[in-house]
Structure 1
Amino acid sequence: MFSTGCGLEFLLVLCGLKFSWSCPHHCICYTAPSTVSCQAHNFLSIPDGIPPDSERIFLQNNKIHRLLRGHFNPNTVTLWIYSNNITYIEPSTFHGFTLLEDLDLGDNRHLRSLAEDTFHGLNRLNALHLYRCGLSSLPNNIFKGLRNLQYLYLQDNHLKYLQDDTFMDLHNLSHLFLHGNRLWSLNQNTFRGLRALDRLLLHQNQIEWVDRLAFHDLKRLTTLYLFNNTLVELSGQCLDMLPALEYLRLNDNPWSCDCKALSLWEWLKRFKGSTSSVGCQAPVNMVGKDLKELRKEDFSSCSSTVSESRSQTNNLSGTVNPSMNRGVAVGSGDQTHIVDPSRPGPPKNCTKPRNRASKKKGDNEVHHSKEVMSDKEDSSHDFTEGRKHDHTSPDGTVTQRKHKCPRTTVRPPSGVQQANNKALSSKASLHIQALFVALIVRNIDHILR
């Protein structure tokens, strides 16, 4: 037994590792860095005797059921517990773990739920693995304070919906894996705050609707996977929010290649990066064709306003009611109404004096969608910090449409003008005569005195 232990120690030394004799039964421990490896031993719970100075703990491929406070020491830097049977994690299990950088809880299929504060305080966490954990929802603020997180693995769960601002604090996140879930919509603020995101994988979900401002913060995104969803249409303005995009996959969606697809077709023509095929499944005469390969003539019955008028319209809350897509929500402040694009609005009252103060936009203003823009305008929405977006031209300059009234010189009919001129001449003559009489009377009076 002694010789076996010496032989193991000798092998570890050859590998540049120093053996530690303080180690749980059936585990291997060594220092530099201090490591405990207890993988694949059918443990039902965390083994006793883990050295308190352990920096790396490997417990994957066991049958551990619960994680409780005190199981690990705050000195831990790397903790792998994937492929176990974890059903419960005490909220305070990782409290005080300010050195933890890599936490892998993936492939614990019966976990299903997490407390809101499970990961609070993990300020140095760089990678968090929660794939295949049976999660159907994520509590609000679950990722609060994780400002150093770069990799977040949430794929292959049962997520149907993501709350607004779920990822708000993840300022350094570069990779977000959400594929293999049951997501059906992406709202305006689903990805707000992810300004450093480089890769977003959303394939193999049930996404059928994407808000046109869903990607407004993703200015550095280079890779977007949306294949194998249930998308029928996607606004080109939505993709205009991604100036750094290089790789886009949209295949295996039931695309409708009628007028609703015009803005996407226009965007694909401008895009210089790599895209997949975009197979048409409707209408009948387009089935089997690739939207990318269509020509302008295929949309001859459409105007560039038609596709946008049928696309999603944002309401004041930042989410969209698909039932509103027949009209355009316009207004500012608390005043909002739906305008049917097919009906012309009331003529502008050009005689009414302009109220200069009314030109200032409110924070909750909802702008017209593209159907009220000129067909010649190649515009996109620029999302600003004030939650407002203006129409911007390709060179970045603001090109707001102001609907100015023409300035015309208004003159009275010629007869009225002539009458007015005569009246003025007559009145001037009478004034001169009266003045002359007054001077004569004054002089006579002076002489008599």
Structure 2
Amino acid sequence: MDRDKRMSSGLEFLLFLCGLKFSWSCPRDCICYSAPSTVSCQAHNFLTIPDGIPPDSERIFLQNNKIHRLLRGHFSPNTIKLWIYSNNITYIEPSTFHGFTLLEELDLGDNRHLRSLAEDTFRGLRRLNALHLYRCGLTSLPNDIFRGLRNLQYLYLQDNHLKFLQNNTFMDLHNLSHLFLHGNRLWNLQQDTFRGLQALDRLLLHKNQIQWVHRLAFHDLKSLTMLYLFNNSLVELPGQCLDTLPSLEYLRLNDNPWSCDCKALSLWEWLKHFRGSTSSVGCQAPINMVGKDLKELRKEDFSNCSPTVSESRAQTNNLSGTVNPSMNRGVAVGSGGHTHVVHPSRPGPPKNCTKPRNREGKKKGDNEVHHSKEVMADKEDSFPDFSEGGKHDHTSPDGTVTRRKQKCSPRTTVRPPSGVQQANNKAPLSKSLQVQALFVALILTHIDHILH
């Protein structure tokens, strides 16, 4: 007895030296200590949750066992971190984590036979920051399974068997920054698949079976900087769906069966103006394009293609000389007929573009000088310079736009109607004015004679 007491005292002293306080209420074969209160029962071939876990435990580590069921009452709502990865869990009672308002990290990964979850499994976990559900054999996700998880930042769903994601599945995850969906069996991305993910920074979708992406699939992802779509089944990808990603910096599209015919024109146009980092986009069709990189193709390679929607609208407006704001908003035509996205100017009070009057009076030739300056301004600003290093709108990595500083838009020169001569100080007197002047001179010469 004395020997056991001495051993316990010695163990307690060693833990004290390490800054740990030994807890005598601890499940068999586990290690328990406080500061923070922790129970470590990993790698002991437990078939069930061990009895005797202290109710004040903040961290519980049960990974690498053979536990197959999680039921209500197994854990205390005081839990902050719970690791149960690499077990044999096949069933989680929906109310297992109800009331766990302090839980910040839950790792259920690598439970390959879990396969399904109830939609209210994670209900009420309002402080949850990281949720691990990788390699769980999941074939689908209930529509409201992540409802209310507004503090979640990391969601690991990779290496499951997901074939389809319902619209609005992630709608409540306003603070999510990392979403891992690679290694599944997804085959399409709908318009509202990622709705609500305004803070998302990284989206990993590689190693799926994606064949089709809606042109508005990424419309809420204004903060996204990294998008992985490599190793899928994409034959085409609309450039319009990437236009909605103003913060994108890293894009990987390699190892897809890209068709580099007319269907690739909009993607080619987008890649041409993207300033971030991209992978190769290897062409696998048509036969004359096999082995080429879509990014290296030239405009001539699409000579037989009709222009894209934005390009055709811009060209039509350019030829007709009119602009329809609802049709051509945010589109400008640069040299060579290429289309470029230009952010509309911010609303605000109109600038005073009236030229200051010359209070000293017009000098000789003023009309000609002003006219020539306006004509030159019209010529210089007719087509914005979108060439490398030119003065044009830049989109920085954080999505902000640096605009060229311009005082006023050039005024359109107003010319006189056809057949009417424009007067200036250098123009010679017309023949009718000469006759009138001669007549007035004769009257003045003979005025005295006329009066008498």
- Please report the TM-score for the alignment, with normalisation by the length of structure 1: 0.70
Q: 5 Å matches for 1:293-312? A: 293-305=296-308
Q: Which of 231, 249, 252 is residue 249 of structure 1 equivalent to?
A: 252
Q: 5 Å matches for 1:125-140? A: 125-140=128-143
Q: Which of 344, 359, 370 is residue 397 of structure 1 equivalent to?
A: 344
Shift of 1:234: 0.4
Q: Which of 20, 24, 28 is residue 21 of structure 1 equivalent to?
A: 24
Q: Does 1:238 align with 2:241?
A: yes
Shift of 1:375: 4.0
Q: Does 1:107 align with 2:113?
A: no
Shift of 1:3: 4.7
| 1: CA distance, partners of 2:5 / 2:208 | 56
Q: Does 1:154 align with 2:94?
A: no
Shift of 1:370: 4.8
Q: Does 1:225 align with 2:163?
A: no
Does structure 2 conserve the Cα–Cα contact (< 8 Å) formed by 1:132 and 1:156? yes
Q: Does 1:67 align with 2:7?
A: no
- Please report the TM-score for the alignment, with normalisation by the length of structure 2: 0.70
Stretches of structure 1 that go unaligned for 5 or more consecutive residues are: 306-368, 379-387, 399-449
Q: Identical aligned pairs, as a percentage?
A: 81
Structure 1 equivalent of residue 396 of structure 2 = none
Q: 5 Å matches for 1:143-292? A: 143-292=146-295
Does structure 2 conserve the Cα–Cα contact (< 8 Å) formed by 1:33 and 1:55? yes
Shift of 1:10: 3.3
Does structure 2 conserve the Cα–Cα contact (< 8 Å) formed by 1:186 and 1:207? yes
Does structure 2 conserve the Cα–Cα contact (< 8 Å) formed by 1:112 and 1:135? yes
Q: 5 Å matches for 1:268-417? A: 268-305=271-308, 370=310, 373-375=313-315, 391-393=329-331, 394-397=341-344
Structure 2 equivalent of residue 51 of structure 1 = 54
Q: Which amino acid aligns with 1:45?
A: T
Deviation per residue, 1:354-382 (Å, 9 max, x gap): xxxxxxxxxxxxxxx6587344789xxxx
Structure 1 equivalent of residue 97 of structure 2 = 94
Cα pair distance change 1:263/1:46, threshold 3 Å = same
Deviation per residue, 1:115-142 (Å, 9 max, x gap): 0100000000000000000000001100
Structure 1 equivalent of residue 413 of structure 2 = none
Cα pair distance change 1:373/1:50, threshold 3 Å = same
Cα pair distance change 1:197/1:40, threshold 3 Å = same
Kindly report the root-mean-square deviation, in angstroms, between the aligned alpha carbons of the 2 structures.
Answer: 1.9
Deviation per residue, 1:72-95 (Å, 9 max, x gap): 000000000000000000000000
User: SS of 1:9's equivalent?
Assistant: helix
Cα pair distance change 1:390/1:114, threshold 3 Å = farther
| 1: CA distance, partners of 2:317 / 2:257 | 29
| 2: CA distance, partners of 1:156 / 1:377 | 49
User: 4+ residue stretches of structure 1 with deviation over 2 A?
Assistant: 1-15, 369-378, 388-398
Q: Which amino acid aligns with 2:99?
A: G
| 2: CA distance, partners of 1:371 / 1:274 | 25
Shift of 1:16: 1.5
| 2: CA distance, partners of 1:303 / 1:6 | 84
Cα pair distance change 1:63/1:201, threshold 3 Å = same
Structure 2 equivalent of residue 120 of structure 1 = 123
Matched length:
326
| 2: CA distance, partners of 1:7 / 1:35 | 20
Q: Which amino acid aligns with 1:289?
A: K
Does structure 1 conserve the Cα–Cα contact (< 8 Å) formed by 2:314 and 2:328? no
Q: Which amino acid aligns with 1:392?
A: G
Deviation per residue, 1:320-343 (Å, 9 max, x gap): xxxxxxxxxxxxxxxxxxxxxxxx
| 2: CA distance, partners of 1:165 / 1:389 | 30
Cα pair distance change 1:278/1:7, threshold 3 Å = farther
Does structure 2 conserve the Cα–Cα contact (< 8 Å) formed by 1:88 and 1:111? yes
Q: Which amino acid aligns with 2:63?
A: Q
User: SS of 1:373's equivalent?
Assistant: helix
| 1: CA distance, partners of 2:327 / 2:157 | 31
Structure 2 equivalent of residue 141 of structure 1 = 144
Q: Does 1:79 align with 2:17?
A: no
Cα pair distance change 1:3/1:297, threshold 3 Å = farther
| 2: CA distance, partners of 1:272 / 1:242 | 12
Shift of 1:17: 1.4
Does structure 2 conserve the Cα–Cα contact (< 8 Å) formed by 1:304 and 1:375? no
Stretches of structure 2 that go unaligned for 5 or more consecutive residues are: 319-325, 332-340, 346-452
| 1: CA distance, partners of 2:306 / 2:15 | 72
Deviation per residue, 1:55-114 (Å, 9 max, x gap): 000000000010000000000000000000000000000000000000000000000000
